[in-house]
Amino acid sequence: MARTPGRTTITDVARQAGVSLSTVSRVMNDNATVDAELAERVRAAALALGYTASPLARSLVLGRTQTIAVVVPDLENPTFVGILRGLSRAAADDGYHVLIADSAEQVDEEAVLATQTRRRTDGVVLCAPRMSDAELAALLPTLTPAVVVNRPPQHGTPVVAADYRTAFGGLIDHLHGLGHRRLAYLAGPPRSAADAERRAAVADGLERHPGLEIAIVPGGADFDSGAAAREAVTATGATGVLAFNDLVAMGLLSTLAEADIRVPADLSVTGCDDIPFARYTTPPLTTAAVPTADLGARAWAAMRAQLEGGEADAAVSLEPRLVARASTGPAAR
Amino acid sequence: MARTPGRTTITDVARQAGVSLSTVSRVMNDNATVDAELAERVRAAALALGYTASPLARSLVLGRTQTIAVVVPDLENPTFVGILRGLSRAAADDGYHVLIADSAEQVDEEAVLATQTRRRTDGVVLCAPRMSDAELAALLPTLTPAVVVNRPPQHGTPVVAADYRTAFGGLIDHLHGLGHRRLAYLAGPPRSAADAERRAAVADGLERHPGLEIAIVPGGADFDSGAAAREAVTATGATGVLAFNDLVAMGLLSTLAEADIRVPADLSVTGCDDIPFARYTTPPLTTAAVPTADLGARAWAAMRAQLEGGEADAAVSLEPRLVARASTGPAAR
DNA sequence: CTGTTAGCGCATTCAC
DNA sequence: GTGAATGCGCTAACAG
């Protein structure tokens, strides 16, 4: 009644090959020098029995699980999925597994989840855009090794992030170049790190372009936030809108269409992230392409560096690329 | 030099509380009856030391990891992400973790991945739409307990699937009801289980509606397949197109717009899945809403049933819901 | 009710 | 070079 597959144990192999446990272990890990003939006998026995060392037992004795945890706020967000995807493939290439923890947007659950999954893994990659700086700072030391994604540099833990500030600045310049002088920033979740970066970009832009005005409209991070903000946006009198991200832009786009407000003739709209669907909106969305897969791969690189005992770069910053599509055009007035 | 967090062991707690290991173990698992006062002392010690039992050690001795693996072909596909999301949350509610294995569309890697991740988990949920029936049948017994997603019923392993056949039939009826008599099915990946179901629906539809014609156009499962198929589709003379899924439909929609073919005036288009973006296309996409989160939750339920020693339902089938939007309308001619 | 003992499956000191 | 013993941290029989 073999409940566990691969139930053959190292003892079985040792018996079959007529050697001791240690010898089998050595051969399997091609450690030390083992007599060629013995080694062959062991290999044959292992093959015949279909033996593979129990990852669990190895984890316990070696103190490492070959697994890392990734905490994400919500798998509904394509950006996090992209990061997860890049990360998981990069880790797999190095023989590591990925445990995924979806915090379901429960900010207060994130720390618990991270701590909990950390115990069954060798490290955790934290995507927690909403967690407060204070909580993050308190949490990170207990997680070592850890990697933080899309937050400002942290003390003691490497950060991998897209440079949203510069990216958003590029979007502002793009609109300014098209003659827009009055813009609106349809903001993201209050107090989120992501929103703070965009606001900084807004401040930068204002400084860079005297005469430019940017109204700030409260928003959120999803479709509905965008759709709900139409009136507030139009009330600003802006000719161009910088949506927090592509999802928000898409929500806005759909409600603008219903209201017969033409894009970009009446109003230019930009997104951020360049999720795969951004080029299929009507009109196709001008946005900043965030290299999510790269971000994930870099996050893994930072984790691996620590796992191997080295020091990872304190912060890597990836530059999003401006993608001008048809949702932006010359200013209406 | 505490490398592992929570480095305090059960021995530390026992010493601190002045009891034996077993007593601590009993208290922590609130097994058997332990003297109230002793129990309190243990709890206090554990709290003071910040002790939590090592999941690894428990896994080894208990023979279960409280973790399951999910194999998906590609995280780029929103359907699988939806399933993963529903699954992961349901599992988390029961205190289980999810190890994710992205096969990166490498069909031949799926079996290896499944086998490998199975060893460090208590079971595997397999999303492998392209794997051959023969390979699947050979693989499943070695994975027990396992759950298969979106494939026909299997011998010995529970299957959780959306009823694409009926769903697609509904789409066909919808178009037929709008007066369409000549349709095109923009097919999915050859030999995939998903494509087979849709073809069956096509056959059903033909039988149900004498006089209806449905041309079959080779396609794929992504945006590009849809975009690449425009000429082949229009060449059929169809007034309505059944795209393999929403992604394909979106790709087709975008190329139709470029060619000034109006939807639905000139051509009606349907998708399948109702991914979150389907309602934001232009025009919004008529499709069949597949309850991915439910699918994931049901997959977990089937897994849990087996984990608890019971028998899961051999097959659960979820009915997609027809969502009529603006991409379909009365037949052109 | 509590403490002692024996493993879970493996890697790794030690002696030989 | 190889085998015998020790322990990773914990749970579960087993006595007391």
Determine whether B102 is exposed, middle or buried from the number of CB atoms within 10 Å of its CB (0-12, 13-18, 19+): buried
Residues engaging strand C (CB under 7 angstroms): A 4, 7, 9-11, 21-22, 25-26, 28-29, 31, 51-54, 56-58, 60-62; B 18-23, 26, 32-35, 38-39, 57, 60-61
Q: Do B75 and A88 touch (CB under 8 A)?
A: yes
- Can you name the residues that pair with A213 across neighbouring β-strands? A182
Residue B325 has pLDDT above 80, yes or no: yes
Orientation angle between helical segments B193-208 and B164-177, nearest 10 degrees = 40
Nucleotides of chain D in contact with protein CB (under 7 A) are 1-5, 7-13
Q: Which residue of B has its CA nearest to A5?
A: B142
Min Cα–Cα distance to chain B from A260, Å: 14
Digit-coded pLDDT (tens) for A145-190: 999 999 999 999 999 999 999 999 999 999 999 999 999 999 999 9
Digit-coded pLDDT (tens) for A129-141: 999 999 999 999 9
With distances taken from each CA to the C1' atom of nucleotide D13, the closest residue turns out to be B22
The rounded distance, in Å, linking the Cα atoms of A130 and A133 is 9
The rounded distance, in Å, linking the Cα atoms of A117 and A67 is 10
Query: Given A4, A99, A279, which is nearest B97 (Cβ)?
Result: A99
Say which range, A18-32, A49-63, B318-332, has the weakest mean pLDDT. Answer: A18-32
Distance A8 CA to D1 C1' (A): 26
Mean pLDDT of A7-15: 93
pTM of the predicted model over 0.85: yes
Q: What pLDDT score does B2 carry? A: 34
Distance A31 CA to D7 C1' (A): 20
Whether the bond between B264 and the residue before it is cis, its omega within 30 degrees of 0, is yes
Q: Which long-range contacts (CB under 8 A, 24 or more apart) does A148-152 make?
A: A149/A83, A149/A125, A149/A295, A149/A299, A150/A193, A150/A194, A150/A295, A151/A193, A152/A193
Orientation angle between helical segments A10-17 and A36-49, nearest 10 degrees = 130
Q: Do B92 and A101 touch (CB under 8 A)?
A: yes
Residue B4 has pLDDT above 50, yes or no: no
CA torsion, ordered A219, A230, B262, A275, to nearest 10 deg: -10
Q: What pLDDT score does B333 carry? A: 64
Q: Which of B145, B202, B136, B134 is nearest to B168 (CA)?
A: B202
Using DSSP's 3-state secondary structure scheme, residue B74 falls into coil
Mean pLDDT of A309-314: 87
Q: What pLDDT score does A1 carry? A: 33
Residue A44 has pLDDT above 50, yes or no: yes
Which residues of chain A lie closer than 8 angstroms to B67, CB-CB?
Answer: 99, 120
Q: Which residue of A has its CA nearest to B106?
A: A89
Digit-coded pLDDT (tens) for B156-201: 999 999 999 999 999 999 999 999 999 999 999 998 889 999 999 9
Min Cα–Cα distance to chain A from B332, Å: 23
pLDDT band at residue B6, thresholds of 50, 70 and 90?
A: very low
Is the Cβ–Cβ distance between B246 and B266 less than 8 Å? no
* The nucleotide closest to A60 (CA, C1' atoms): D8
Which residues of chain A lie closer than 8 angstroms to B221, CB-CB?
Answer: none
Mean pLDDT of B74-97: 96
Mean pLDDT of B112-136: 96
pLDDT band at residue B281, thresholds of 50, 70 and 90?
A: confident
Chosen from A99, A106, A113, A143 to mutate, greatest number of chain B CBs within 10 A: A99
* The nucleotide closest to A63 (CA, C1' atoms): D8
Residue B3 has pLDDT above 50, yes or no: no
Q: Do B253 and A65 touch (CB under 8 A)?
A: no
The rounded distance, in Å, linking the Cα atoms of B37 and B44 is 11
Q: How many residues does chain B have?
A: 333
Min Cα–Cα distance to chain A from B167, Å: 24
Percent of chain B at pLDDT > 70 equals 98
Which residues of chain B lie closer than 8 angstroms to A117, CB-CB?
Answer: 97
- One-letter amino acid at B54 equals S
Alpha-helical runs (H) found in B18-77: 21-28, 36-49, 55-62
Nucleotides of chain C in contact with protein CB (under 7 A) are 1-13
Which residues of chain B lie closer than 8 angstroms to A89, CB-CB?
Answer: 102, 104
With a CB cutoff of 8 Å and minimum separation 6, the contacts of A72 are A80, A83, A84, A100, A101, A102, A103, A127
Q: Which of A90, A285, A89, A106 is nearest to B281 (CA)?
A: A285
CA torsion, ordered B261, B266, B270, B275, to nearest 10 deg: 40
A6: alpha, beta or left, given left = phi > 0 and alpha = psi -120 to 50? left
